[in-house]
Amino acid sequence: MADGAGEVDESRLALVRRARRMYRLLGERYPDAHCELDFEDPFQLLVATVLSAQTTDVRVNGVTPTLFARYPDARALAAADRVEVETIVQPTGFFRAKTDSLLKLGAALVETFDGQVPRRLKDLVTLPGVGRKTANVVLGNAFGVPGITVDTHFGRLVRRFGWTQEEDPVKVEHAVGELFPRKDWTQLSHVLIFHGRRTCHARRPACGVCPVARLCPSYGEGETDPVKAEKLLRTGPRA
């Protein structure tokens, strides 16, 4: 029993140390990692994050200046003309469903929170179109409340890294959260999303130029030749 417990503890300790070492190395690669959605206040970030589903940050950033100029707050959005909103957000895809979510979101903010974006996760997830991922983006980047954002990049990388094998985003969030101090959660999310967009791609990861290659159990899934891998690197949120 003691030996078994010791082995489990040692394995857990090794995982924590490896995960934190990988995070430090990735942080050195992406010292400027940040939320790539443009926003000026919590309301704008909330709306932009809702719009970011199934599209790129670049496309969202292309429409939000017009959207926010026309509808600068929750009350304006709640009273918005549906057709006009659909026209503005159309480039982001699924524009009818997103418009519906935005109108309901504005109304819920006005009716329940006096037009203000709530600062608690349990309140945010009650809003139309807002799940834990969106809530953690808003909490971490608009309010400074640490949170882990499990998007497709984050989930893919933590499984490749062997930090967890969970598929469910909530279980991934909790499993990874146990490996790092809470204060690191928001920046950890940014760093991994940057790495997923720029280097550790879904189909052809650039293993040969990855700063955590020697610590990654999935090394070799992608291109290992440094010269060829270098050509796979991407830049910016368009990735």
Catalytic residue (choose from 151, 225, 228, 231): 151
Residue 210 falls in which region: left (phi positive, over 0), alpha (psi -120 to 50) or beta:
beta
Is 104 a catalytic site residue?
Answer: no
The sign one gets for the Cα dihedral 64, 70, 72, 76 is negative
**Closest by Cα among 175, 166, 183, 231 to 204:** 231
Q: Would you say 218 and 199 are in contact if contact means Cβ atoms under 8 Å apart? A: no
Is 151 a catalytic site residue?
Answer: yes
Residues contacting 61, CB < 8 A, separation 6+: 36, 37, 38, 48, 237
Q: Would you say 164 and 156 are in contact if contact means Cβ atoms under 8 Å apart? A: no
Catalytic residue (choose from 9, 32, 38, 133): 133
The sign one gets for the Cα dihedral 133, 134, 136, 137 is positive
Catalytic residues: 133, 151
